[in-house]
Amino acid sequence: MIDSLEQLLTKKRQIKQGAMQELLTGKRRLPGFTGKWTECNLAVLAEIRSGGTPSTRQSEFWDGDIPWCTPTDITALAGGKYISQTTRTLSEKGQKASSAELLPAGTVVMTSRATIGECAIASVPLTTNQGFKNLVPYAGTSGEFLYYLIGTQKQALLALCSGSTFLEIGKRQLAEFLVRAPVEFEEQKAIAQVLSDMDAEITALEARLTKARALKQAMAQALLTGRIRLPVAS
């Protein structure tokens, strides 16, 4: 069971990767869509906002109700798409005293320092530290589509940092970064939905695999300690 689930997961991930490469470039179109795709700067699709860190010496700036996202919070998602909780939080006073802008729900938060291009979608209003460049979709841009689009651009984003001792993407660099996208909002949404459905299927398989591994581990402990004895064949 474990072997078959691992093989199926590998296959599903490969299928999703192929679908992203085709659907997010316009190479393959979904049924019913024939509208134009356009090449544009990323700043045409979203407003780019930055993050910041209040003084850690001011206790009144911290432990409030405003989530404050760091790259570690994104890593902890383990590939999950949405973020609503963070390890640390800011007070309203701390948020206003720093350059950590309050971002609306639906913002695509993207790591832009050291680790480049790791993304999540904010499901609640939140802030980030300065290790992010955050994409607030304009009307007519699907945040879900933008999330998947950025996911295919990591190597190109890394190339923007070439020659730098410390990897970081500046706001202007990201704003001028060229991408292709459907002009029609409904096509953006439809592409994102197909990929979201694939994600849901992969997540379900991962849960089944985790359960199967846990069951095997429990059985191994019981059988190899004599706590459970196998019946003798007659």
Number of domains in the chain: 2
Q: Are residues 61 and 6 in the same domain?
A: no
Would you state the structure tokens that stand for residue 48, as one six-digit string? 């780019």
Q: Are residues 72 and 134 in the same domain?
A: yes
Of all helices (H) and strands (E), which one includes residue 116? strand 115-122
* Alpha helices in the chain, H assignment, sequence order: 2-23, 42-45, 71-76, 92-96, 143-151, 154-159, 171-175, 185-223
Q: Are residues 126 and 193 in the same domain?
A: no
Low-confidence ranges of the chain (pLDDT < 70): 162-165, 234
Query: Is residue 67 one of the residues assigned to a domain?
Result: yes
Beta 115-122 vs 82-83: how paired, if at all? parallel
Q: Are residues 173 and 188 in the same domain?
A: no
Q: What is the pLDDT of residue 187?
A: 97
Q: What is the pLDDT of residue 164?
A: 62
Q: Are residues 221 and 115 in the same domain?
A: no
Q: Are residues 200 and 104 in the same domain?
A: no
Q: Are residues 102 and 114 in the same domain?
A: yes
Q: Are residues 97 and 85 in the same domain?
A: yes
Q: What is the pTM of this model?
A: 0.89
Q: Are residues 5 and 103 in the same domain?
A: no
The CATH number for 110's domain is: 3.90.220.20
Q: What is the pLDDT of residue 234?
A: 67
Q: What is the pLDDT of residue 163?
A: 60
pLDDT in tens, 207-231: 999 999 999 999 999 999 988 888 8
The DSSP output letter for 168 is: B
Q: Which domain holds residue 15?
A: 1-35+184-225
Query: Is residue 232 one of the residues assigned to a domain?
Result: no
Q: Are residues 171 and 192 in the same domain?
A: no
Q: Are residues 100 and 154 in the same domain?
A: yes
Q: Are residues 81 and 155 in the same domain?
A: yes
Name, in order, each residue with C-beta under 8 angstroms of 37's C-beta and a sequence gap of 6 or more: 26, 180, 181, 182, 183
H helix and E strand count, the chain: 8, 10
